[in-house]
Amino acid sequence: MDARVIAVGAGKGGVGKSTVALNLARALRTQGAVGVLDLDFYGPNIPSMVGIEHEKWTTNWTLAGPSMRRFKPVLREDLAIVSTGFVLGEDQPFGVDSMTAGLIAKQFIHGVAWPDLQYLVVDLPPGTSTVQQILVRELKCAGALVVVTPELVAHLDARKAVQMFRSLKIRVIGAIENMSAGNCPHCGQAISIFPSAPHDRSIWSMGVQKLAEIPLQIAGPSSKPTVGGLDPSLALLYQQLADRVVADLTT
């Protein structure tokens, strides 16, 4: 696996990690072959976001050894996709210890027949505990991206994620502010639902670069989904994000 691995994390859940990871991966396709590794054991959402249903790798899953079987990623939208969802039942809660989670992550990197990839985007689970730290350590990341919403609680949790990456010697390329101010689909006026975090308690005060502001998409009469079928202005934002990430990784 020679791909440049880009981890997408956030201390907080629900801020848009999976959405950003997938749309970034889509935008990176202009640069070469791209894979998506969904390591969110708690909520493996990438498969359903690209319409993969009932994919299960249940046979002969071995952790090591000469007869190790190599599983094939599922190809969708020109993306090679592997997900923890492929080894968990749909209603099965994550019930393994963090060391085993690390072993599974290792298998996903080295025990999968990945095609030659330029970039591998990894969707991490929310949080900064042992599970996340072990996963990050196994990934050999080229860099990490942090997703935040504008509000204080997202920044407070994201600060922990920044510290986690830094303590594991993984460079934080920058952060994406998701769900930032958007426009009302009815009257067109700018609206924001989150008050902004004070600068000194935000990740920006830790020297993290803001790479993109992705506006909150408000469901309206002609609204588009947040993944797939993006409207052109949103697609352009993700393309600009991908260009900044690529420029950062290649300099």
Ligand X SMILES: Nc1ncnc2c1ncn2[C@@H]1O[C@H](COP(=O)(O)OP(=O)(O)OP(=O)(O)O)[C@@H](O)[C@H]1O
Chain residues binding Mg ion by CB under 5 A are: 17-18, 40, 45
Record the tokens describing residue 36, joined without a space: 């998506």
- Using the minimum distance from each CB to ligand X, give the nearer residue, 111 or 197: 197
Cβ within 8 Å of residue 112, ≥6 positions away: 70, 71, 72, 73, 82
Q: Choose from ligand X, Mg ion, none: what does 185 bind? Cβ within 5-8 Å by kind.
A: none
Q: Where are the beta strands (DSSP E) in the chain?
A: 4-9, 34-38, 74-76, 79-83, 119-123, 143-148, 172-180, 182-183, 190-191, 210-215
* CA end-to-end distance (rounded Å), the chain: 21
Q: How far is the CB of 246 from Mg ion (least distance, A)?
A: 23
Q: Choose from ligand X, Mg ion, none: what does 19 bind? Cβ within 5-8 Å by kind.
A: ligand X
Record the tokens describing residue 27, joined without a space: 């935008």
Closest-CA residue to 203 (of 249, 138, 157): 157
- The residue ranges that bind ligand X (CB under 6 A) are 10, 13-19, 40, 43, 45, 126, 178-179, 214, 216-217, 226
β 4-9/34-38 pair status: unpaired
Q: How far is the CB of 208 from ligand X (least distance, A)?
A: 17
Q: How far is the CB of 177 from Mg ion (least distance, A)?
A: 17
- Using the minimum distance from each CB to ligand X, give the nearer residue, 180 or 202: 180
Q: How far is the CB of 178 from ligand X (least distance, A)?
A: 5
- Using the minimum distance from each CB to ligand X, give the nearer residue, 111 or 179: 179
Q: Choose from Mg ion, ligand X, none: what does 202 bind? Cβ within 5-8 Å by kind.
A: none
Residue 113 backbone phi and psi in degrees, to 5 = -80, 70
Measured distance CA(25)–CA(33) in Å, rounded? 10
Q: How far is the CB of 154 from Mg ion (least distance, A)?
A: 14
- Using the minimum distance from each CB to ligand X, give the nearer residue, 45 or 84: 45
Q: Choose from Mg ion, ligand X, none: what does 37 bind? Cβ within 5-8 Å by kind.
A: none
Measured distance CA(196)–CA(164) in Å, rounded? 23
- Using the minimum distance from each CB to Mg ion, give the nearer residue, 142 or 147: 147
